[in-house]
Each structure stands twice: as structure tokens, then as C-alpha cells.
Amino acid sequence: MRIVILGVGNILLSDEGIGVRAIEAFRDAYRLPPEVDLIDGGTTGMEMLEDLANATHLIIVDAVRCGQPPGTMVRIADEDVPVFFKTKLSPHQIGLSDVLATLALSGEEPGSVTVLGVQPVSLETGMSLSPPVEALLPALTARLAGELGRLGIVVEPAMREAA
């Protein structure tokens, strides 16, 4: 089993960077087994083909335009994922959609795809998440741990060194 957790987004556009920031927070919060790969996908596209090829499960973390109140977390899975990509929030999602289509054509698509998303509050230029979205990071990392649990992978909290 190989599980890829892919954080995508543009960290220069405030909440658009939630996927990347969530991956950073998850890496800091949990010890991960070797079958789980964390990838900071940023705004890349076809460069991710090799990283995503033949993953048993792909979990994407991203800002999503889902018609919910700003700061809402959503889970999109399986057959609903292509519908999500039709309502693109940003150019990197076009690239990711193309990557998944290319993997499918080559027979190397992930066994399952899940998107954990957050409705952005702000897409203004800025390196920081908006306060409401930043406040969601602990809940979002816990949801990531829960997704792994659904797949039979238990993650342990990272050990913190005493000050």
C-alpha cells in the first residue's frame, strides 16, 4: 500500500495556500509510517506524474470553492472528484486534473482519490492564511489522520522535545 497526501495551492495568495500549509502542519504534528508520502505540490502540474503514479490512495488537500460559508471544511471523494475539478478555483487545479487524466490514460491512476478542502475566506495577495482558516489547521490535520485511519493506517502524534 502506498498513500500519497498531496498539499496544493499558492502560498502567495493567502488561503489559496491551505493545502501546502496543512501538509506542513501535518508533518509537524504526526509521525508517519513509510507507506505514507507527504508531497508539497504547490502549484505544479505534470511534474507530479511520477510522484502520484500507482498510489493506492491519493488524498489532496486544497482550497475549494464549494458554495459553503468561508472557512467550511469539505470532503470530496471518488466519483465526485472530477465534478470538483470542473468548478476550478485556480490554475493549479487545471494542472492537477490533467495529471490525474494522464495517469488514468497510462493505467497508473490512484486506486482512490479524496479531496479535503477548505472554502477560502481570502484570496488576496499575502503569505499568511486568514485567521479563520489558520484556526482550522488543527481540525484539518486531525481529519487527515482520520482519513488515514479509514485506510487502516494509524499515525502517532510527533514527540515534542522538552523546552
Quick: pLDDT tens for 28-85: 999 999 999 999 988 777 888 999 999 999 999 999 888 889 999 999 998 888 777 7
Single out the residue of 62, 76, 43, 32 nearest to residue 140, CA to CA: 62
Eight-state DSSP code of residue 159: P
Distance from C-alpha of 95 to C-alpha of 101, rounded to nearest angstrom? 10
Pairing of strands 36-42, 156-157: unpaired
CB-based contact 69:119 (threshold 8 Å): yes
Q: Domain locations in the chain? A: 3-157
CB-based contact 15:48 (threshold 8 Å): no
Please indicate if the annotation marks 57 as binding a ligand: no
Please indicate if the annotation marks 92 as binding a ligand: yes
Which CATH code is given to the segment(s) 3-157?
A: 3.40.50.1450
CB-based contact 152:33 (threshold 8 Å): no
Dihedral over alpha carbons 28, 29, 31, 32 (to 10 degrees) = -90
Phi then psi dihedrals of residue 114, to 5 deg: -130, 135
- Dump pLDDT digits (tens) for 7-35: 999 999 999 999 999 999 999 999 999 99
CB-based contact 2:52 (threshold 8 Å): no
Stronger pLDDT, 90 or 149, i.e. the higher one: 149
Cell of 127: 503569505
Instruction: Give percent of the chain above pLDDT 70.
Output: 91
Please indicate if the annotation marks 15 as binding a ligand: no
Phi then psi dihedrals of residue 146, to 5 deg: -65, -40
